Amino acid sequence: MSVAAVTTGLGKPKSSEATPAADRRRIRTAFAFLAPSLVGVVLFLVIPVILVIILSLTQWNLLTPLKWVGFSNYANIFKYDAFGHSLLVTAYYVVLNIPIQTVVALGLALLLNNKLRGSAFVRIVAVLPFLATPVAMSVVWTWFFDPTNGIVNQLLGHIGIAGPAWLSDAATAMPIVAFANIWQYAGYNMLFFLAGLQAIPPSMYEAASLDGAGKLSQFRRITLPLLRPALLFVLVTGVIGSFQVFDTAFVLTNGGPGNATTVANLNIYNTAFQGFRIGEASAMSVILFLVILVVTVLQFTYFNRRTTYEMV
Amino acid sequence: MASVTTVAPTAATKSASKSGKTSVPGRGLRLTGYYLILLIIVIVFITPYLFSLFAAFKPLGDILGQSPARPPTSPTWANFRQIFTQDDFGRYLANTLLVTVILTIGQVTFSMMGAYAFAKMEFPGRDALFWMYLATLMVPNVVTLVPLYVMFAKAGLLNTYWAIFLPYTLGVPQAVFLMRQNFMTIPKEVMEAARLDGCSESRILWRIVVPISKPIIITATLLAFVFGWNNFLWPLIVTNSNSLNVLSVGTANLNSNFADQWNLVLAASLVALIPMVILFAIFQKYIVRSISLTGINR
C-alpha cells in the first residue's frame, strides 16, 4: 500500500488509491471493519424482523413440529388472549405517561435554565434517575406505595386520609406505573428542552419585549415554536419506549389487579415464555410494531404540517 | 453544542438579576419561592434513593416501625450479609459485571470499527448498507424478542452467558450511527496524510481517530454500560438458572419470593442502584452531554 501511495502520491488523493491491488485491499479492510457490526445487525435485527413475521403465521411451542396456520393467529389473539385489551391498556399508559412527562420535563427546563446558584446542581440531580435500574427502582416504589407500610399512606395518614391500596387498586395501579416512568425520565427529557432553549438567541426575546410582547406571548410565539424539534424528539422517543413498557409493569403489578396493567409487552411475554405459544406471541409483536410505526409516522406528519403552516 | 451546565441566561433571568442590584421589593420573596421549589424537586428525586439506603441498614422491625426519613439508629450489614450468603447476590453482582463489561467492550469496539468504515472508507454498497443500519434503528426491541429467543433456543445457547450479552455485543446501529456522525467531522486530509505515510487503516483508527474522538467514545461506552447493567427482559427470558442470574433478574425473583421482607429486597435493589449512582457521580458531565448528543444526532 505504501509503495502504491508513494508512487502516485503527488496526484489527487482519489487517484493515489486507484491501483487495482490497493483498491481491492482497501475494500477488504473496509469490510473487515464492518464485519462484526454487520453480522450483529443482520443476525440480531434484520433476520428476527423477517422471522417474527414468518413465525406469526405458525402454531408452535418449540417442541412439537411447527404448523402453518395462515393469518388465524391475528384473529385469535384478539379473541382468546385479550390482546385488544392489552393494547388499550398500553394506550392508556401512553396517554397517562407522555403528556405529564413532557410537561414536567419542559417545566423543569424552563425553571432551571438560568445561572442562579443551585440550578446546575438541581439539573444534575434531576438526571440521576435516568440511570436507575428500573427493576430495582420498581421495588423501591412497591415499598413506597405499600398500603400499610408504605411512606405514602403513612404521610396521608398523618393528615387523616386513608390512602388506597395503590398497586392493587385498578384505579390507581396504572397511574403508579406511569409515575415510576415519569420520575425516571423527566430529567432525561429535560436535557433536550434545555438544549433547545439554549439554541434560542436572547436577542429574539429582547426584540419581542421592545415590541411590547409580554412574557406569556413571548413563550407562545418564540419559545414553544423554537422548541418544536426538541418536542418532536421527546414525544417520538417517549412514545416508542412507552408502547414497549415492561420492567416497571412486571415488578410493580405483574399486570394486575386482574389485567388492569397487562400491557402489550407483558401479554407477549406471558404468551411466549409462560405459555410457549410462539406463533401467537409473534403475531402480537407484529401488531405492536405496526401500532408503534403508525403512531410515529402520525407524529412526524402532524409536526411537519404544523411547521409548514407556521412558516407560511 | 454548548454544554448544558453553562446555560445562557434567558431574557427573563437577565432582567431578574439586573433588578436585583436595585433591590426591587419582592425579589427576595421570589428567590425564596424559587429555592423552595428547587428543594421540593431535589426531595422528589433523592428521596427514593435516600430512604431505601436508610432502610437497607435497618432490621425489618425498624423499617416497619419507624419513619422512613429516620436514619438507622444502629446501622447493620445484616441484610446485605443475608442476601450475599443465603441468596446469591455476590454471584449476581459478578455475573452482571461480567456480561456488562463484555457487552460494553464489544459493542463500543465493533460499532466504532463499523462507524469508521462508513465515515471514512470507500467500498461498494456502502450507502445501501448504511441505509439498512438506519432502518434497523427504527426496530423496537419488543419486535425481535420472540424470534431472537427462538434463534438462541435452536442454537442451543439458552442458559449461557453468551445468550445474555451476544445480541448487543457485535455492534448496534445506535452506536454505529452516533460515532459515524462524529467521525464524519474529522477532515479527510487527516486520513489521507496518514495513508500517504503508510499507516494501515487500523493504525489510523486506533492512533488517530480514537484519541481525537475520546468524548464520543466515552459517551458510547457509558450508554452501553448503563444499558447492559439495567437490562432485564432479555436476561429474564434466556436464563433460568440461579447461577446465571444478573442483578435485575435476581432482584425481581427475590421481590416475588419475599415481597414483605423490605429489609432484604431494598438491600438487593441498592446493590443494583448504588453502582449507577457512583458512575453518575464520576461521569456526570459526560452523561449529561451524551444524552444531548444522542438527541441531536437522531
Question: How far apart are the C-alpha atoms of A58 and A69, rounded to whole Å?
Answer: 5
Of B34, B198, B292, the CB nearest to A5: B198
Residue of A49, A111, A131 to mutate when probing chain B, most B C-beta within 10 A? A131
pLDDT-based confidence at residue B25 (cuts at 50, 70, 90): low
Interface of A with B in 13-52 (CB under 8 A): 13, 16-17, 26-27, 29-31, 33-34, 36-41, 43-49, 51-52
ipTM score for this prediction: 0.88
Residues 6+ apart with CB under 8 A from A85: A259, A262
Question: How far apart are the C-alpha atoms of A309 and B16, rounded to whole Å?
Answer: 35
The whole-number average pLDDT for the span A217-234 is 90
Query: What's domain B88-297's superfamily in CATH?
Result: MetI-like (1.10.3720.10)
Of B2, B42, B136, the CB nearest to A46: B136
Instruction: Answer yes or no: do B262 and A149 touch at CB < 8 A.
Output: yes
A155 touches chain B (CB under 8 A): no
Interface of A with B in 158-177 (CB under 8 A): none
pLDDT over threshold 90, residue A193: yes
Gap from B169 CA to chain A (nearest CA, Å) = 8
Amino acid A9: pLDDT:
38
pLDDT tens track for B226-240: 999 999 999 999 999
pLDDT over threshold 80, residue B296: no
Residues of B in contact with A154 (CB under 8 A): 67-68
Residues in chain B: 298
Instruction: Answer yes or no: do B295 and A195 touch at CB < 8 A.
Output: yes
Instruction: Answer yes or no: do A273 and B298 touch at CB < 8 A.
Output: no
Q: In angstroms, what CA-CA distances link A3 with A17, A111, B196, B198?
A: 11, 62, 9, 8
The whole-number average pLDDT for the span B59-64 is 90
The whole-number average pLDDT for the span A246-265 is 95
pLDDT over threshold 60, residue B42: yes
Interface of A with B in 276-295 (CB under 8 A): 278, 281-282, 285-286, 288-289, 292-293
pLDDT-based confidence at residue B20 (cuts at 50, 70, 90): very low
Q: With contact defined as beta carbons under 8 Å apart, do A229 and A300 qualify?
A: no
pLDDT tens track for B69-91: 889 988 999 999 999 999 999 99
**What grid cell was written down for B142?**
419488543
Q: In angstroms, what CA-CA distances link B225 with A146, B169, B212, B228?
A: 32, 11, 22, 5
Q: In angstroms, what CA-CA distances link B115 with A69, A85, A98, B122?
A: 42, 42, 33, 12
Of A44, A45, A127, the CB nearest to B287: A127
The residues pairing with B138 across neighbouring beta strands, listed in sequence order, are none
**Rounded to the nearest 5 degrees, what angle is found at the Cα of A14, between the Cα atoms of A10 and A15?**
55
Q: Between chain A and chain B, how many beta carbons pairs sit less than 8 Å apart?
A: 343
Instruction: Answer yes or no: do A1 and B195 touch at CB < 8 A.
Output: yes
Lowest-confidence region among A175-184, B13-22, B134-143: B13-22
Q: With contact defined as beta carbons under 8 Å apart, do B273 and B49 qualify?
A: yes
**What grid cell was written down for A41?**
445487525
Residue of B145, B169, B179, B277 to mutate when probing chain A, most A C-beta within 10 A? B145
Gap from A171 CA to chain B (nearest CA, Å) = 22
Residues 6+ apart with CB under 8 A from A173: A166, A167, A252, A253, A256, A257, A260, A261
What CATH code would you report for A72-311?
1.10.3720.10
Gap from B146 CA to chain A (nearest CA, Å) = 6
Gap from A254 CA to chain B (nearest CA, Å) = 10
pLDDT over threshold 50, residue A215: yes
**What grid cell was written down for B45?**
428525586
**3-class secondary structure per residue, A33-98:** HHHHHHHHHHHHHHHHHHHHHHHCCEECCCCCCCEECCCHHHHHHHHHCCHHHHHHHHHHHHHHHH
Q: Closest Cα partner for A298 from A230, A236, A244, A243?
A: A236
pLDDT tens track for B111-145: 999 999 999 999 999 999 999 999 998 899 999 99
Domain boundaries, chain B: 27-76, 88-297
Angle of helix A228-242 relative to helix A278-311, nearest 10 degrees?
A: 170
CA B51 to chain centre: 23
